[in-house]
Chain A
Amino acid sequence: QSVLTQPPSASGTPGQRVTISCSGSNSNIGSNTVEWYQQLPGTAPKLLIYISNQRPSGIPDRFSGSKSGTSASLAISGLQSEDEADYYCAAWDDSMNGPVFGGGTKLTVL
């Protein structure tokens, strides 16, 4: 059972905009920034978003993040087939002194 809560699945058609939600508590999202990771099948996770809404170099601006209170969301616009992957949210947890993750959302591009 993951500390952060994500929907298990999401889907969209090419070109569409999809959002994935992430819910936490005061000890994690409520008091720290949020990260999002993309994991393609059989590969390591890749950092997509950090400090809730910043993109590392090389990440397209189709990916955006936001945070409000104890919740966060990842938006993907102009959906592409290569976006089909598992997406994980994460946040530092003050009570654990380390990062906690969501259970992951499997994104299907129809």
Chain B
Amino acid sequence: QVQLQESGPGLVKPSQTLSLTCTVSGASISSGGYYWSWIRQHPGKGLEWIGYINYSGTTYYNPSLRGRASISVDTSKNQFSLKLTTVTGADTAVHFCARGRWFGESQGMDVWGQGTTVTVS
């Protein structure tokens, strides 16, 4: 059974860097056909894709974040991480990590972490 678990500080000061880690259990983060995403949800709002890293290490980010996001993977720990620089109150949100399936086309994000709240203040 694949599980994802987010970890990191719940409080970050404005202008500093938000850092979160997602630990994957029950599957290898290096497996082909999957990508590893960060999604956030502002209070009372909808879902927003932040970015992802795929099994070959290629990354893509939401252009709305204007280059502030970076995602990396540590295969030895089966983890992937998010860094978001120069945060403001607008970055306060619940952050989810999720596994996406890609077999010739997107087949959705089938496993999600429980989410972790990050407050910028």
A49 to B60, CA, bound (A): 24
The 9 closest A-B pairs by CB, nearest first: A50-B108, A44-B112, A35-B108, A92-B106, A104-B46, A101-B47, A97-B60, A103-B46, A47-B108
Q: How far is the CB of A96 from chain B (nearest CB, A)?
A: 6
User: B80 at the A/B interface (Cβ < 8 Å)?
Assistant: no
User: A62 at the A/B interface (Cβ < 8 Å)?
Assistant: no
On chain A, the number of residues with a Cβ less than 8 Å from chain B's Cβ atoms is: 28
On chain B, the number of residues with a Cβ less than 8 Å from chain A's Cβ atoms is: 27
The 13 sampled A-B contact pairs (Cβ below 8 Å) are: A32-B105, A33-B105, A37-B47, A50-B101, A51-B105, A51-B108, A56-B108, A90-B47, A91-B106, A96-B49, A99-B49, A99-B106, A101-B49
Provide the A73-109 mask, 1 if CB < 8 A to any CB of B, else 0.
0000000000000001011100011111111100000
Residues of B near any A CB (own CB < 8 A): 37, 39, 45-49, 51-52, 60-63, 96, 98, 100-101, 105-110, 112-115
Q: How far is the CB of A25 from chain B (nearest CB, A)?
A: 16
User: A7 at the A/B interface (Cβ < 8 Å)?
Assistant: no
A100 to B106, CA, bound (A): 12
Provide the A38-57 mask, 1 if CB < 8 A to any CB of B, else 0.
00000111110111001010
